[in-house]
Amino acid sequence: MSDLQTQTLVPQLDTIFPDWVRPDDRAGYQGYIVETEHLLAVAKALRDTYGYDLLSSVTGVDYLPEGKLEVVYHVFRTTGGPIFVYKVQVPRDNPVVPSLVPLYPGAELQEREAYDLLGIRFEGHPDLRRILTWEGFAGHPLRKDWHEPYFEEEAKPYKSRWPEGQVRRAEDLNPFADNVDYPAGFDPESLVPDADDTLYKTLFRVQQAQHPEIKTDAIVVNLGPQHPSTHGVFRMVALLEGEKILDLKPVMGYLHRNHEKIAERNTFLQNMPFTDRLDYIASMSNNFAYALAVEKLMGVQPPERAEYIRVIMAELTRIVSHFIAVGFLLNDLGAFFTPSLYGIKERELIVDIFEMVSGSRMMCNYFRFGGLARDMSPEAVQKTKELVNDRLPRKIDEFDRYLTENEIVRQRCEGVGVLTPEDAIALSATGPVLRASGVPYDVRRAEPYSIYDRFEFDVAYGLHGDIYDRYLVRMEEMRQSVRILKQALRDLPEGPIMTGKPAYQVRVPAGESYGRVEGPKGELGFYLVSNGKPNPWRYHVRAPTFINLTSLAPMSRGGKVADVVAILGSIDIVLGEVDR
């Protein structure tokens, strides 16, 4: 086979590695199951020979009845094309899997998450600690036999609500009363110093390995969790030498609510409003990705009009999100709140439209499987047209004149927080962060979903991979979104907005699916496993900002403390999504 062929065709793993790999032939499943001991070899071949250079998602599924844990890997080529999935299966009582961090450094945070929530041990991982839950957490919550405090039933709807609903107050259920479990020998009173020591040690290890000869005083500084620069409750532990960052660890999970466990108790439909609360700046995108994943399982297709409205909402959301991202980046640079309020003003006009169509400004809950919750009224269409055809292009230009040539912005952003294209790919960065590094990868182009193949738009990308390019990419993406919006509004057809009848219990056949969209912050994916019941067996969110944070430390090393603040701003995180 020629090089070009190996790099573009989907490899038949089971014929290439007949002894190591078998196709996943369970009904409704795709991809391949790889023998655990050969995982690294297969993954390496996929990356180096077959061109799957970006590890998109790593997660696990607990198949309790079979006594197995499965680790699921999704990889794609940054040159485009569909996503590729392979899995390894390990026994539940001894789940050890080789870590992919040596091949794909972008697996670092994701493997920690799988370890934390499912108890899968990744051998060879440089820093396998809990990440979203705290050290005093007993068990691994996404195991199917793990029960939360005041556990009621495996799945909603709960029987206690109807027909004999005896109300009780939610706050009477205090999860820190006598129903909480601690690990054996754990004393919550004596926790803090121990736990942070292990965290700080991971920093010192790095330092000693890199600078054995230098005898300077490096100090550990905590930025956050309560810090105006961290965009929420997020913490960075930095090892400093003077003003210089030697190493840095992101610490997250302060806003963790076990979204995925809640979702596995919910029915498929009940999850829709919960997805709003992930990246709450971009709830329409979250709806979109989740609806795509469930629709793939159900095999339904929304009608034309619904597809157009979906695209309109998703692109408006992108503009909202980028206005906020750019505005708050300027906040981090010290332009306190004037730019961000100019951005918020435009956002306000757009969320007015969301409120008109969906009933809520932020928590839209607008998408349904096979369509939308309700139609877009002529007034809402009119208002969108006014914004898209007149105001938004004007305001984006004004933003541009306002900030792009500002000398302070350029001084602070150019050449700071550089991420090379190779590093960006290796670290699984997606969205504007990846594109600013010169990799023009956009899911809307690479694997068009919905009706994105009908629109003309350009994929914005940068060349330098610094903060300034991330800013420029976002500005350009807003313009491209306006371009898509103009076409979508022009072609918006009349017709129904729902395939089939709206139903409060949807039938979802057994199987797995991965739905992904190009969210404003990166590739947002939902990995679902259904066993044919009303509730998803597994529900995993590939959260773009969480995974983009893997690049934070490499971007920050060698920079100054003040740069870190701007670098974090340029990743554009939303803690609702990072912590889930």
Where does this chain bind other proteins (CB under 8 A)? Answer: 156-158, 160-167, 169-171, 266-267, 269-274, 338, 342, 345, 348-349, 352, 355-360, 363, 365, 373-374, 383, 386-387, 390-391, 398, 401-411, 502, 504-505
Q: What is the Cα gyration radius of the chain?
A: 24
- The CB-of-544 to other proteins minimum distance in angstroms stands at 23
**b/e burial code for range 133-164 (CB count within 10 A of at least 16 → b):** bebebeebbbbbebeeeeeeeeeeeeeeeeee
- The CB-of-378 to other proteins minimum distance in angstroms stands at 12
- The CB-of-334 to other proteins minimum distance in angstroms stands at 13
Alpha carbon 278 to chain centroid, angstroms: 9
CB atoms near residue 452 (< 10 Å): 20
Closest to other proteins by CB, 30 or 270: 270
Among candidate residues 498, 509, 113, the one with its CA nearest the CA of residue 297 = 509
| Alpha carbon distance 430, 122 (integer Å) | 24
Closest to other proteins by CB, 164 or 217: 164
Closest to other proteins by CB, 123 or 352: 352
- Tell me if 290 sits within 8 A of 271, measured CB to CB: yes
Closest to other proteins by CB, 146 or 342: 342
Closest to other proteins by CB, 251 or 349: 349
- The CB-of-269 to other proteins minimum distance in angstroms stands at 7
Closest to other proteins by CB, 40 or 349: 349
Closest to other proteins by CB, 97 or 376: 376
- The CB-of-372 to other proteins minimum distance in angstroms stands at 12
Alpha-carbon torsion angle 77, 79, 80, 86, nearest 10: -10
Closest to other proteins by CB, 86 or 274: 274
- The CB-of-512 to other proteins minimum distance in angstroms stands at 23
Alpha carbon 497 to chain centroid, angstroms: 28
Closest to other proteins by CB, 224 or 302: 302
Q: How far is CA 146 from CA 137, 143, 185, 434, 558, in A?
A: 12, 5, 19, 37, 43
Residues 6+ apart with CB under 8 A from 566: 329, 332, 333, 412, 413, 416, 417, 467
Among candidate residues 555, 557, 561, the one with its CA nearest the CA of residue 573 = 555
- The CB-of-370 to other proteins minimum distance in angstroms stands at 14
Within 22-73, residue ranges assigned H as helices are 39-48
- The CB-of-554 to other proteins minimum distance in angstroms stands at 29
Residues 6+ apart with CB under 8 A from 401: none
- The CB-of-530 to other proteins minimum distance in angstroms stands at 18
Closest to other proteins by CB, 181 or 390: 390
- The CB-of-438 to other proteins minimum distance in angstroms stands at 25
Closest to other proteins by CB, 248 or 409: 409
CB atoms near residue 27 (< 10 Å): 8
Instruction: State the pairing for strand pair 121-123/226-227.
Output: unpaired
Torsions phi, psi for 406 (to 5 deg): -65, 125
- The CB-of-156 to other proteins minimum distance in angstroms stands at 6
- Tell me if 310 sits within 8 A of 288, measured CB to CB: yes
* HEC secondary structure over 100-148: CCCCCHHHHHHHHHHHHHHCCEEECCCCCCCCCCCCCCCCCCCCCCCCC
